[in-house]
Structure 1
Amino acid sequence: MSVRVRRVYEPPEPGDGVRVLVDRLWPRGLSKDAARVDEWPKGLTPSNELRRWYHAGEGSYEEFARRYEAELTAPEAAELLDGVRELTGKGPVTLLTAAKAPQESHAAVLLRLLG
């Protein structure tokens, strides 16, 4: 099982496998052709409230990760996470995000849960 996180703005690579956009909003200035996104499970992303809370600098990454993991136990999110987990059994999966610091984003939480 090979799962990795990359910025969606980086050019696609042959080893990316299935490219899964894990952001709720489409990345600014990026065409769908250039992004080469295979899956876009919007319901797998953090809630707007949690995203705003974290980006406002009101809490630590660790607290954000804890809250996001709690959100992922909701039925729709859990089902989508299972769907991505199934993809990892078939070959490489690349989680794509527009986050400037993917290592401290929701994508890193997903990577840990899928790895």
Structure 2
Amino acid sequence: MTLRVVRLGTPRHAGEGLRVGTARRPPRGVRKSDYARLNYYDVWLPELAPSQKWVSWALSQPWTDARWRKYARNYRKEMSDPRAARLIELLAALSKRTNLSIGCYCEDENHCHRSLLRELLREQGANLG
């Protein structure tokens, strides 16, 4: 069993399992009833997304190494909140029992919170695919 980190809205992999959206906002212009059919997500957990403050900050200027380090530090701080930490523990535990995936819309995973979330899940012992 594994947990994949994916870009929301992309075709699903065979056996991917439940797709969990970790974006701050649902997809624009898409009816809620179409989220799963259009490969966005089956379940939405915005609690694992960066706060609106940090989403806005991230989109305000191009990435530099220093900006990415600051963003990563603040995202990790937000994910240390007990509710977010419990969700990360839950996903890590589920990855040992079933296939599932988590994701965000960002094109570049290297500058997206999903790469940081992958690290947090790995630290909790998740089976990553």
TM tier relative to shorter chain: 0.7 to 0.9
CA distance in 2, matches of 1:93, 1:64: 26
Report how many residues are paired: 115
Number of the residue aligned with 1:39: 43
Report the secondary structure of 2:89's partner residue: helix
Change beyond 3 A, Cα 1:10–1:63: same
Report how far residue 25 of structure 1 moved.
0.9
Alignment RMSD (CA, Å): 2.0
- Misfit runs of 4+, over 4 Å: none
* Residue 91 (str. 1) matches residue 95 (str. 2): no
Number of the residue aligned with 1:5: 5
Partner amino acid, structure 1, of 2:104: T
Q: Provide TM-score, normalisation by structure 2.
A: 0.77
Report how far residue 17 of structure 1 moved.
2.3
Larger radius of gyration: 2
Percent identity of paired positions between Structure 1 and Structure 2: 28
Q: Provide TM-score, normalisation by structure 1.
A: 0.85
Report the secondary structure of 1:15's partner residue: coil
Q: Gapped runs of 5+ residues in structure 2?
A: 123-129
Report the secondary structure of 1:16's partner residue: coil
